[in-house]
Amino acid sequence: MALSLINIHVNVSATSSRFFDVLTAPLVVTNGTKILATAFLNDSGVAVTTFPAVTNGYYNFYLNGVLQEGGSYTISETELTFNVAGTIAAGTPLVVEAVELATVI
């Protein structure tokens, strides 16, 4: 029996959107503290009403430019929720990144 090889090309493309907020006052964070999406601006500096829905991808959260552990926060279309406790200083930048992946065969 002859060996037959199947050549399948799969391309994965990603689109990302970033959203920014700079705290104007210190934020005392407890488990469940929320920041609404409406507090963030998009890459163009325009206020947003929601974060994009991510159905085949993920969200990242950066605090002062540092990527945070996945278990320390959750993000939905309407809010960023902290799963940790602490205090975040005024002037600290917060960045939410939404990454959506698409596969083309």
Q: Is residue 50 part of a domain?
A: yes
Tens digits of per-residue pLDDT, 17-36?
999 999 999 999 999 999 99
Q: Which domain holds residue 99?
A: 11-104
Q: Is residue 2 part of a domain?
A: no
CB 35 within 8 A of CB 21: yes
Number of domains in the chain: 1
The percent of residues above 70 in pLDDT, for the chain, comes to 95
The Cα–Cα gap between 83 and 89 comes to: 18
Q: Is residue 24 part of a domain?
A: yes
The Cα–Cα gap between 68 and 44 comes to: 24
The model's pTM is: 0.87
Q: Is residue 4 part of a domain?
A: no
Q: Is residue 6 part of a domain?
A: no
Q: Is residue 1 part of a domain?
A: no
| Look-up of token digits 């540092």 | 66
1 confidence band (pLDDT: 50, 70, 90): low
Q: Is residue 69 part of a domain?
A: yes
The predicted model gives 45-60 an average pLDDT of 96
